[in-house]
Amino acid sequence: MLKTILPPPTYYFLSEMRIKQWTKNLFVYAAILFHGNLFNVEALAVTTLAFFSFSFTASGIYFFNDIIDIERDRLNPKKCTRPIAAGRISKSSGYFCAALLMIAGLAIAYGINFSCFMIVLSYVILNLLYSIRLKHVIIIDVLIISYGFVSRTVIGALVTQIHMTIWFILCVMFLSLLLALGKRRYDNSMSTNPQKVLHVEFFDQLITIVAAGVVMCYSLFTLDTDTTEMIFTLPLVLYGTFYYLYIVRVKQNSGAPDEVLYKETPILITVILYVACVILIRNV
């Protein structure tokens, strides 16, 4: 629909920004959500600035990554429609947009405080290295993805000066590893390279370990909070984790995490119910 409303250059720019994937940056709101500050206007405002800081820098990295992968993406039936791969945005324009978005995100972070700027800067540097080389290094690639989610959570606590329990940070780390490994398993299972297909069993073992980490750390997190009612959210976390394993192992459809959220109704309903429960328990 947007394609018919917006001028082509604007539509292609917004499409390349992958705004749908900004859902990953909602992790910056975790601190105020779990601390009971979700309706604190000041805390919400500064957290929203952090959200846009990560969103702009992430979109800039998407531009950069698609330029690096342009030849590979043109051979992919799904990725070949991306504006850069399809030739709708030139390489020079792509580099300019990437720089502009990353500078905008870093400027917002610097405007919040220097510590915030350093975290976002480390995220940018790591992801540029990831785009250039590290995404092809097994295990290191998923660890970098996990760092991105953890840094979002930490920055949300940092800008609001909220202490986040170590159990929650570990839970975020394991959850992000679970999503990243699920996507890597899916990519390898769809590959025509026999060597990559052999990696599927290895990823299955890692996914089992990481899923156990999610459940264990979240259970300890609920017991470590000052609100005993948080334990009642555990069944939702168990269901969400188990259903994601069902998607990965049975349905064989664990693509991009944002696509899983949109396309898998049980997961979407579970996330909505979980957030609603936390709001009722911690913020009302």
Question: What pLDDT, in 10s, does the model give residues 126-143?
Answer: 999 999 999 889 899 999
- The answer, yes or no, to whether residue 192 has pLDDT greater than 70, is no
Do 281 and 227 belong together in one domain? yes
Work out the pLDDT band at 172, boundaries 50, 70, 90: very high
Planar angle of CA 252, 168, 30, nearest 5 degrees: 85
Note whether 156 and 230 are same-domain residues.
no
Residue 195, amino acid: Q
Distance CA 26, CA 272 (A): 13
Q: What is the mean pLDDT of the chain?
A: 90
Q: At what angle do helices 91-112 and 114-132 cross, to 10 degrees?
A: 150
In a domain, 102, yes or no: yes
Shared domain check, 34 and 159: yes
Domain that holds residue 243: 165-284
Q: What is the pLDDT of residues 30-53, one digit of tens each?
A: 999 999 899 999 999 999 999 999
Question: Is 171 contained in some domain?
Answer: yes
What are the residues whose beta carbons fall under 8 Å from the beta carbon of 176, sequence distance 6 or more? 145, 146, 148, 149, 150
- Residue 270 falls within a domain, yes or no? yes
The answer to whether residues 230 and 252 belong to one domain is yes
Give the span between the Cα atoms of 150 and 144, in whole angstroms: 10
**139: number of Cβ within 10 Å:** 11
67 and 122 in a single domain? The answer is yes
User: CATH code at 121?
Assistant: 1.10.357.140
Alpha carbon distance 180, 145 (integer Å): 7
Are residues 154 and 194 part of one domain? Answer: no
242 within a domain of the structure (yes/no):
yes
The secondary structure of residue 133, as a DSSP letter, is: T
My answer on whether 158 and 170 are in the same domain is no
- Per the structure, the count of domains in the chain is 2
205 in a structural domain: yes
Answer whether residue 12 is part of any domain: no
Same domain, 27 and 98: yes
Same-domain pairing of 44 and 98: yes
- Same domain, residue pair 263 and 135: no
Q: Which of 195, 196, 192, 188 is nearest to 252 (CA)?
A: 188
Q: How confident is the model at residue 147 (pLDDT cuts 50, 70, 90)?
A: very high
Residue 33 falls within a domain, yes or no? yes
| Pairwise CA distance, residues 178 & 87, whole Å | 34
Residues 149 and 172 in one domain: no
Considering the domain architecture, whether residues 203 and 245 belong to the same structural domain is answered as yes
What gap in Å lies between CA 271 and CA 262, rounded to an integer? 11
In a domain, 222, yes or no: yes
pLDDT digits (tens, 9 = 90+) for 252-275: 776 677 677 778 899 999 999 999
163, 192, 215 - which closes a domain: 163
Question: Which of 125, 141, 163 finishes a domain?
Answer: 163
What is the C-alpha end-to-end distance of the chain, expressed in Å? 38
Indicate the residue among 148, 163, 178 that finishes a domain. 163
